[in-house]
Amino acid sequence: MPSVRFRLNGVETDIEAGPDRSLLEILRGSFGMTGSHFGCGAGECGACNVIVDDRAVAACNTPLWSVADKDITTIEGLGSLEQPHPLQRAFIAEQALQCGYCVSGILMSAAALLKRNSTPTSREIKEALDGNLCRCGSHNRMVRAVLRAADAMAAG
Ligand code: FES
Ligand code: FES
Render pLDDT for 25-36 as a digit per residue (tens, 0 to 9).
999 999 999 999
Report the SS3 class of residue 55.
strand
pLDDT at 67: 98
Does the C-beta of 86 come closer than 6 Å to ligand 1?
Answer: no
Does the C-beta of 101 come closer than 6 Å to ligand 1?
Answer: no
Instruction: Using the mean position of ligand 1's atoms as its centre, give its distance from the Cα of residue 59 in Å.
Output: 7
Output phi, psi for 125, to 5 deg. -65, -45
DSSP 38: P
Sequence-ordered alpha helix ranges (H) in the chain? 23-25, 86-93, 103-116, 122-128, 139-155
Does the C-beta of 134 come closer than 6 Å to ligand 2?
Answer: yes
pLDDT at 110: 98
Residue 75 corresponds to which amino acid? Answer: I
Element spanning 58, H or E: strand 55-58
pLDDT at 1: 77
pLDDT at 32: 98
pLDDT at 156: 80
Atom of ligand 1 nearest to the CA of 61: 2
Atom of ligand 1 nearest to the CA of 60: 2
Q: Does the CA dihedral 15-116-110-154 come out positive or negative?
A: positive
Q: What pTM did the predictor assign?
A: 0.96
CA distances from 3 to 10, 16, 37 (A): 18, 4, 24
Mutate to test the pocket of ligand 2, among 94, 102, 132 (most ligand atoms within 8 A of CB): 102
Low-confidence ranges of the chain (pLDDT < 70): none
Closest CA to 142 of 54, 58, 71, 104: 104
**Relative to the alpha carbon of 47, which ligand is closest?**
1
